Structures are given as structure tokens and as C-alpha cells.
Chain A
Amino acid sequence: MAKMKFLCDAERCIECNGCVTACKNENEVPWGVNRRRVITLGDGEVGEKSISVACMHCTDAPCSAVCPVDCFYTTDDGIVLHDKDLCIGCGYCFYACPFGAPQYPSEQAFGVRGKMDKCTFCAGGPVDDNSVAEYDKYGANRVSQGKLPLCAEMCSTKALLAGDGDMVADIYRERILKRGDRPQTWGWEKAYGSAV
């Protein structure tokens, strides 16, 4: 069975935020909720790196371990999804997640947050595939249509890869071999030349 993975190649990401826009548009996520974001490390300095991050669909998912209503489940494809009908908006998954993936529509008095929303790997949720209810709650279900997450599909530099972990790893390994040996494997110089 395929195990779905995201991988962002920091040597390629140019911080265009195309993935963020693609995600918002494809899934019609509410205002203020961003399932994906791009972080630029060392912004404005020589050698800055950008990397796109959303839910990484962890194997031993911390969000799932702490959820008081146990509303997470992992699909056969290794995608971590949750049931919004059960979610009580406690915020625990956000406290536990290493990547800040869980998002909340609102923060009101008495700590009411609303139902958690996060990246679904464009795989919808626990209602009928491609139904209106699914789209309203969880966004698109591209995986059921044989497609991959739109963020990766639309990445202009193909920095963001999504798909079966083995295939993603093969593509990335090929890139690394082309880029050359260590320590330039991850090299800025290898990608853009030492003069830059």
C-alpha cells in the first residue's frame, strides 16, 4: 500500500506561496485558516532557505494521541484525517503537533475555538467521497479521484513533492545525485553557484 508523503526541497523553494494559494482555493478554507504555509529561514541573508509546511501525516501522530475525543484516523494510504463532527475544538492537537498544522476558525470568549481544520492531503474526510457535506467540512477529495494534493501539483519549481513515499524518495534521490557529492549534497552553491 502506498504511504503518502510530502517533501519540500529547500534548494528549490522560492517562497512564491503558490502552494498556499492553491490550497486555499481548492479547499475553500475559511478566512484566517491556512492549512499550508511557507517559512523563510534566515530571510534576507545570504543562503536563506524557504520551506513549505502543512500537516506531515505523521506515522505515530501526536495530534491523534492527545485528542480527548479520539477523532483522528489514519487511512490505508497513511493520511491522517479527523472527524469534525466529533471535534470539540479543545486545541490539544495544536499543542502536540510539531508543525503547527491544526488550525481553528475562531478564538472567542471562554476559549471557544470552533472545529479544528487541517491539511487532509486533499483526501476529504469521513463522509461520503466527493459529497457536498464532505466538501463543506473538509474540502476537496482529489485522492479519491486519483489525483495528488493540488499544492504539490501546482508548485512552479517542483520543490514541493507529494505522493507515495517511495516515489517521492526516488525523485529526490535522483536530484541529489545530479547535484553532486557531499558536502554539497544540500548545497546552495551546487544549486546556484558559489558566487551567489
Chain B
Amino acid sequence: MSVSLVKWTASVQGIYKRETTMSSKTVTADKARRRFRAMGWSMLLIFACAIILPTTSYLIPTETANAQVVDDQNQRSNFWRAVREGGSGYSSVKGPETGVFIDNGGQNWRQLRNGPISTYGGWALIIAVLGCIGFFLVRGKIKIGAEISGRKVQRWETWERFMHWFTAAGFVILAITGLSMLFGRLVLIPIMGPEGFALWANMSINVHNAVGPFFSIGVLGMFLFWVKHNFFNAVDLKWFASGGGIIGNAHPSAGKLNGGEKVWFWVVILVGLIAVCGSGFALIGWLAQLGIGDETRATMQFMHKVHAIGAILWITMFVGHAYIGTIGTEGALEGMTTGQVSEEWAKQHHDLWYDEVKGTVVGQDKPATGSGVSHPSTSTT
């Protein structure tokens, strides 16, 4: 590059020199060089002005005034442009938005729903399930480190367990019926055929809309009764810093609920209760009946997007919760089924909480020491 530039400069200078020698006047090489430099700068200035000057029209106010004049002359096209952009008029046919000729949000909603929401959402769900399977294969079940003594501590009261399983059952029903609405056309119609799937979808939508409100009561209950356990504190910070003990065999300290459980709780409340349940009530028209918001297409499109995105996020997190609470961790599920957990599990996973409740230990020590006897069945409690 630079070589050819030098050559070019040299040849231009050569022409100059030849010219100057041709003329009878004695022009020094110095003068020629100055002239050449002046020419270079002028060229640069011309280029700069050619770029900058046209843009100055943006700064001149008369330009907008001109546009205004054009606007006034094109009243008819402006009239139809307003209609195209969703403007409304009068219609003797009464109903919501009957005066609106063109609603533009629908196309946007269609593209989002059929595009990113179902594509990324579908993959998120698949990856969540595969992730759990992969983790299980690599890490296996997280075992209770110590020998099981048979002593138990109470973790969840009966009414708490009822609330949990009531909500969990609702969640599973809603997830299956809801996912059928989004992915059924792609996944289930090829299997069940159009008529079979239409039957299922008809049941799905009705069950979904009817179960949703009761389920929401369960989630609301979880918020009211469990929020006191779920404020973050310094212990949780340390818990997060050590990765929650997922990697390696460390068991970071935790209270009744560890950092991860608290995150799940707030996902359930913020994403689940507020976004998903809230938008669900809007979609079945209950919010509008209470005078909150309306049932215009714009509202429905927005609420559907919130509902779908929030629900997929929720289900993705739920896959992790269900994994950790069942096959992922030895001794965790019985806390929510029987209400009691083994003392060793409590010490291992929730040491600070165990310190608080160890006075309430129930159950027997395991029978007199005998090196051959270990791990008595814990399923009797």
C-alpha cells in the first residue's frame, strides 16, 4: 500500500517537475511542492464539505415547515395512513373495538408467538430436562453423608404440605394443558390427528381456564405463609459464593431454606404469581370485569406474551425444582411427603436451621450399636 502511494506521489511530482521545466519560467522544486500540498488540502476540504454540508439540512428549521406543507396537501393519504395505523371511527355494530378498521398488533403477536416464543421456549424446556438428566448421570443422587440414625425433625406442617401438593397438582395440570395450546399443533396433531387433538385441546383450554384461578389461590397462600422464610441474608450470599454445593462435596451453611430455594420462591412469586397468574386472569376476562384494564386486542396480545414467556420460564425452573426435590437429593422428598426429615439430612443441608430445631427431634436412636447394622429403613415414619 504505502509503497504504491509513494510511487504515485513521486510520479505526480515528476509530472510537475516536467511541466515546470517545460515552462520557460524558473520555478523551483520547492514551489512545486507547496503547490502540490495546497492541492492536496483543497481536495480533502472538498471531500469533507461534500459529506458534511448535505447533513446540515437537518439543522435548518424551514425543512420541517416544508414537510408540514406537503402534509397539508396530502390530507387524503394522511387520512388513510391514520386508518392504517389503527385509527378508529364509528360503527353501528356495537362491540369492543368494532370501530377499529385495522389492528396492527396482531401481526407482531403472531410473529412473536410462532417465532421466538415457541422456538426458544421449546428449546429452553428441552435443555432443562436434558440438563437434569445430564447432571444426574454425572453427579448422581446427592447422598446423605452420615449414617441414618432414625431421628427426625419436623420440617413442614400438614397444612403446608397440603398447600404445596395442591399447588403442585394444579401446576402440572396447567403446564400440560398450557403447553398443549402452544406446541400441540406441532407435536400432537401429527400423533393424534386433527380431530383427536381438537378434543384434547378443547378439554385443555377449559380445564386450564378453570384450574388456573384455584391454583392461583395456592400460590398466593405460599406467598403469604412462606414469605417469612424467604428473605435473603448474608448466609445466602456465602451459599451462592460456594455454588450451593452443587460442585464438589462442600455443604455451605443454610437456614430453613437455602439460597437456591429462596430464588425458586421468588421466581414463583414474581414470575409465577404476578406475571403468569396475573396475565391469566386478564386473558379469561376477570381483570376487565373487576375494572382493571380492558379486553382490547392490544391488551390480550400483551397479556398472552407475558403469560407464555413467564410460564415457560416458570416450567423451566420447575423442572430443576422437581429434580432436586425428588431423585436429585436423597432424603429431600420425605420433608414434603411425611413432613419430617432425617436429622442427618437436616445437618447436611440446613445446618443453621437444624441448630434452631434440634430440641424438637423426634423418633428413636437406632438400636444399640452393632457394626453390622446400619441404615435401618426410614420409611416406617
* Any A CB within 8 A of the CB of B225: no
Question: Would you call A95 and B109 a contact (CB within 8 A)?
Answer: yes
What's the nearest-Cβ distance from chain B to residue A34, in Å?
5
Q: Which residues on the A side are within 8 Å of B75 (C-beta)?
A: 47
Complex Cα distance, B180 from A88, in Å, reads: 13
Q: Which residues on the B side are within 8 Å of A67 (C-beta)?
A: 185
Stretch of B46-54, B86-94, B237-245, B265-273 lying at the A interface: B86-94
* Any B CB within 8 A of the CB of A128: no
Among the listed B76, B106, B213, which residue makes an inter-chain contact with A95, where contact means beta carbons less than 8 Å apart? B106
Question: Would you call B89 and A43 a contact (CB within 8 A)?
Answer: yes
Q: Which residues on the A side are within 8 Å of B206 (C-beta)?
A: 110, 112
* Any B CB within 8 A of the CB of A66: yes
What's the nearest-Cβ distance from chain B to residue A5, in Å?
17
Question: Would you call A107 and B285 a contact (CB within 8 A)?
Answer: yes
With an 8 Å Cβ cutoff, the count of chain B residues facing the other chain is 53
Interface string of B292-311 (1 = CB under 8 A from A): 00000100110010000000
Question: Would you call A68 and B114 a contact (CB within 8 A)?
Answer: no
Q: Closest residue to A86 on the B side, CB-wise?
A: B198
A93-118 with Cβ < 8 A to chain B: 94-100, 107, 110-112
* Any B CB within 8 A of the CB of A51: yes
Complex Cα distance, B263 from A59, in Å, reads: 47
Question: Would you call A41 and B83 a contact (CB within 8 A)?
Answer: yes
Assess A41 versus B101: contact at CB under 8 Å? Given A86-B194, A111-B285: yes
Question: Would you call A95 and B297 a contact (CB within 8 A)?
Answer: yes
* Any A CB within 8 A of the CB of B103: yes
* Any A CB within 8 A of the CB of B336: no
Among the listed B79, B98, B185, which residue makes an inter-chain contact with A42, where contact means beta carbons less than 8 Å apart? B79
Complex Cα distance, B96 from A32, in Å, reads: 12
B96-142 with Cβ < 8 A to chain A: 97-104, 106-107, 109-110, 113-114
Complex Cα distance, B213 from A111, in Å, reads: 12
Assess A68 versus B185: contact at CB under 8 Å? Given A41-B83, A43-B90, A112-B206: yes
Q: Which residues on the B side are within 8 Å of A154 (C-beta)?
A: none
By size class, the interface of chain A is 35 or more
Q: Closest residue to A109 on the B side, CB-wise?
A: B284
Question: Would you call B297 and A37 a contact (CB within 8 A)?
Answer: no
Among the listed A20, A47, A96, A100, which residue makes an inter-chain contact with B107, where contact means beta carbons less than 8 Å apart? A96
What's the nearest-Cβ distance from chain A to residue B66, in Å?
18
Complex Cα distance, B181 from A121, in Å, reads: 29
* Any B CB within 8 A of the CB of A65: yes
Among the listed B79, B106, B197, B285, which residue makes an inter-chain contact with A62, where contact means beta carbons less than 8 Å apart? B106
Complex Cα distance, B194 from A107, in Å, reads: 25
Complex Cα distance, B113 from A90, in Å, reads: 15
Q: Which residues on the B side are within 8 Å of A85 (C-beta)?
A: 195, 198
Complex Cα distance, B80 from A85, in Å, reads: 38
* Any A CB within 8 A of the CB of B283: yes
Assess A86 versus B285: contact at CB under 8 Å? Given A17-B92, A39-B90: no
* Any A CB within 8 A of the CB of B329: no
* Any A CB within 8 A of the CB of B325: no
Q: Which residues on the B side are within 8 Å of A49 (C-beta)?
A: 79
Question: Would you call A42 and B89 a contact (CB within 8 A)?
Answer: yes
Question: Would you call A110 and B209 a contact (CB within 8 A)?
Answer: yes
Assess A37 versus B194: contact at CB under 8 Å? Given A66-B114, A95-B304, A98-B103: no
Question: Would you call B106 and A98 a contact (CB within 8 A)?
Answer: yes
Question: Would you call A69 and B201 a contact (CB within 8 A)?
Answer: yes
Assess A98 versus B107: contact at CB under 8 Å? Given A65-B114, A112-B209: yes
Among the listed B101, B185, B202, which residue makes an inter-chain contact with A99, where contact means beta carbons less than 8 Å apart? B101
Question: Would you call A69 and B197 a contact (CB within 8 A)?
Answer: yes
Question: Would you call A111 and B76 a contact (CB within 8 A)?
Answer: no
Interface string of A15-51 (1 = CB under 8 A from B): 1010010000000000010100111111100010101
* Any B CB within 8 A of the CB of A168: no
Among the listed A38, A91, A187, which residue makes an inter-chain contact with B91, where contact means beta carbons less than 8 Å apart? A38
Complex Cα distance, B79 from A42, in Å, reads: 9
Q: Which residues on the A side are within 8 Å of B107 (C-beta)?
A: 62, 96, 98
Question: Would you call B189 and A70 a contact (CB within 8 A)?
Answer: yes
Complex Cα distance, B75 from A56, in Å, reads: 26
* Any B CB within 8 A of the CB of A186: yes
Q: Which residues of B contact A (CB under 8 A)?
A: 73-76, 79-80, 83, 87-93, 95, 97-104, 106-107, 109-110, 113-114, 180-182, 184-185, 189, 194-195, 197-198, 201-202, 205-206, 209-210, 213, 283-285, 297, 300-301, 304
A-B contact pairs, 30 of them (CB 8 A): A37-B92, A37-B93, A38-B91, A38-B92, A39-B88, A39-B89, A39-B91, A39-B98, A39-B99, A39-B100, A40-B91, A42-B79, A51-B101, A53-B101, A69-B198, A70-B185, A85-B195, A86-B194, A88-B201, A91-B300, A95-B106, A95-B304, A96-B106, A98-B103, A98-B106, A99-B101, A100-B103, A111-B209, A111-B284, A112-B209
Q: Which residues of A contact B (CB under 8 A)?
A: 15, 17, 20, 32, 34, 37-43, 47, 49, 51, 53, 62, 65-71, 85-91, 94-100, 107, 110-112, 183, 186-188
What 5 additional pairs, Cβ within 8 angstroms, besides A99-B102, A112-B206? A39-B100, A69-B185, A70-B189, A97-B103, A183-B74
| 5 closest A-B pairs by CB | A111-B284, A41-B89, A37-B93, A43-B90, A86-B198
